[in-house]
Amino acid sequence: MTDTAPSDRAAPQHNVMLADLTTIRVGGPAHTLLRPTTEQELLASVHDVWQRGDEWLLIGGGSNMVISDEGFDGTVIHIATKGIHVTDQSDTTLSVRVQAGESWDGLVARLVARGWGGLEALSGIPGSVGAAPIQNIGAYGQEVASALTGIDFLDYDSGELVHLTTEELELGYRSSVIKSGRTGVVVAVHFTLTASPTSTVQYQQLATALGVNVGDNVPLQQIRDTVLALRASKAMVLDPNEPDSASCGSFFTNPIVPEHIARALPADAPRWVIDDDPVADVVVPLGETPAPPPPPKPRLVKLSAAWLIEHSGVHKGFRLPGSRAAVSTKHSLAIVNRTGADAAEIAELARYIGACVLSRYGIHLQPEPVSVGVELA
């Protein structure tokens, strides 16, 4: 990495309460906090932290984190970089490079307003652009992978700014190579969008709310408005006037299990086969004996974490005796901080929910938020 002047570094702050930077409003003080607002500041500040060997933690929008009440005894880098740069444009496509600190929903709103499709069903998701590819955020039939072309990534091992393609990111259901352990910092994200006044509805709940069929085309703005209304009905958008919005959003991912486990659940348990590849045809020359077919590949099925939670006895609005953490009154997948809960209470409730589902159905729930100094499962 090239040398940079001291003025390129973000100014350090001390003992900032991390609860103020997270949407669930828990987290103790940061020993040191840096808030880079330009890409140059981000690169220089991170490089300095790595050279010193400090313990470090990244925060973007803080929407998917539970930080302990003790805080973080190291350097927190709060990424606040801004900028959307058009890298290529034609009559049919638009390619953009977006700084990691941009608001995710702000980006989606701007694209939809200008008639660029590909991310409209991801409206209303809190957090920053840089966090989106790390867990391949998705909702209502879309994932960030559908429009992502790559990221600019400051690699911890080499100290270099590299470009990772979508293939190199190994995106899956709420996963990526970064979430799986490749260490570094997302600096900017590249997307390619499609010029179209409409988009295809790919999810039944969204289609029902729109009054159309799955596969129908609907104006982009109408999709965005309907998604926002659906999320608001579940308190899944940030709203200071909504007590249940002080959360991490969905706290657990939908479990993916072998088909035989899904079959053991009651008939009304929602499930979706996600691994149903057809067997490929095999060409055998005349006169040769075909090889025996491979054993059938076990099918994988995605289950509804919300259904599992509710049917294990944890209802909407549930809270443990004396606790200030609760399950949302509007969505059983969300744990909310309505009355000044601390991180220990959030974690206690998360572990309790997981234990109830495990005891009732033998299925482990995986917490979705990043945990810092606290055990969620």
250 is catalytic: yes
Please answer whether residues 279 and 320 qualify as being in contact, where contact means their C-beta atoms are separated by less than 8 angstroms: no
Q: Cite the DSSP H helix spans in 143-219.
A: 166-169, 204-210
Alpha carbon 167 to its chain centroid, in Å, reads: 18
39 is catalytic: no
Contacts (Cβ under 8 Å, ≥6 apart) of 309: 252, 327, 332, 333, 353, 356, 357, 365
Other C-beta atoms lying within 10 Å of the C-beta of residue 217: 14
In the set 245, 247, 250, 304, the catalytic residue is 250
Least Cα distance to 199 among 234, 226, 173 occurs for: 226
Strand ranges (DSSP E) for 196-278? 198-200, 217-219, 256-258, 271-273
C-alpha to C-alpha distance for 243 and 95, rounded to whole angstroms:
38
In the set 39, 120, 348, 368, the catalytic residue is 368
174 is catalytic: yes
Least Cα distance to 100 among 73, 53, 45, 60 occurs for: 60
Taking CA atoms, 148 is separated from 151, 168, 262, in Å, by 8, 12, 32
C-alpha to C-alpha distance for 24 and 347, rounded to whole angstroms:
12
Residue type at position 26: V
Least Cα distance to 157 among 303, 45, 276, 1 occurs for: 1
Backbone phi, psi, residue 150, to 5°: 160, 180
Which residues does residue 273 pair with via DSSP β-bridges, in sequence order? 301
Q: How would you label 83-113 residue by residue, b for 16+ Cβ within 10 Å and e otherwise?
A: ebeeeeeeeeebbbbbbbbbbbbebbbebbe
The tokens describing 286, both together, are 């005349």
In the set 97, 174, 224, 338, the catalytic residue is 174
C-alpha to C-alpha distance for 85 and 103, rounded to whole angstroms:
15
Catalytic residues: 174, 250, 368
